[in-house]
Amino acid sequence: MEFNFSPNFKWKKYSIGWLLYVLAIVITGVVTTFLTSNSTELMITIILQVLLVVFGINRVIYYYNLPNKVYLRMEEGYLLMYRPNVLSKKQIEYSNIKRVVEMKDMILLVMKDGKEEQIHKEWLTEKDFLMLRKELQSTFGDMSMFTLME
């Protein structure tokens, strides 16, 4: 079962923020080009700014397309979680999960080794969250603690 990132979250705002960052780097680069007289400094500055612009454009495209990506995928025996801004995907074996706890703004997967993984409610649509909640309850049974929905 797959759950996509919610299109209602602030992904477009993040994309616009990174676009403004790229524009600031370009403007800084143009000003620096006119103010720098040393060719070695100019070359290093241009190379660094090009790298920052490429990174920024990558982030713009990344956040713009994020609502089209799968956030969680529940398979037989494991959960595959896509995590923005960190390592792209994390596979969590069901056998490694000690407890599933619902909190105000997230579902916490407590691992047997003491580590925790977060599933953010706001990154899912309401419909997807309710389906995920039901799937986790049926998969983990007594190991899950969910609050009653109003």
Residue 54: Cβ within 10 Å count: 11
Residue 132 clears pLDDT 50, i.e. is over it: yes
Residue 143 clears pLDDT 80, i.e. is over it: no
54 lies in the same domain as 96: no
79 lies in the same domain as 97: yes
63 lies in the same domain as 75: no
Residue 133 clears pLDDT 50, i.e. is over it: yes
Instruction: List beta partners, residue 111.
Output: 97
Residue that the structure tokens 């620096």 belong to: 32
Q: Which domain holds residue 49?
A: 2-67
pTM (2 d.p.)? 0.73
Q: What's the rounded Cα separation, in Å, for the pair 30 and 34?
A: 7
Q: Tell me the CATH number at 135.
A: 2.30.29
Predicted local distance difference test score (pLDDT) of residue 150:
41
Residue 32 clears pLDDT 90, i.e. is over it: no
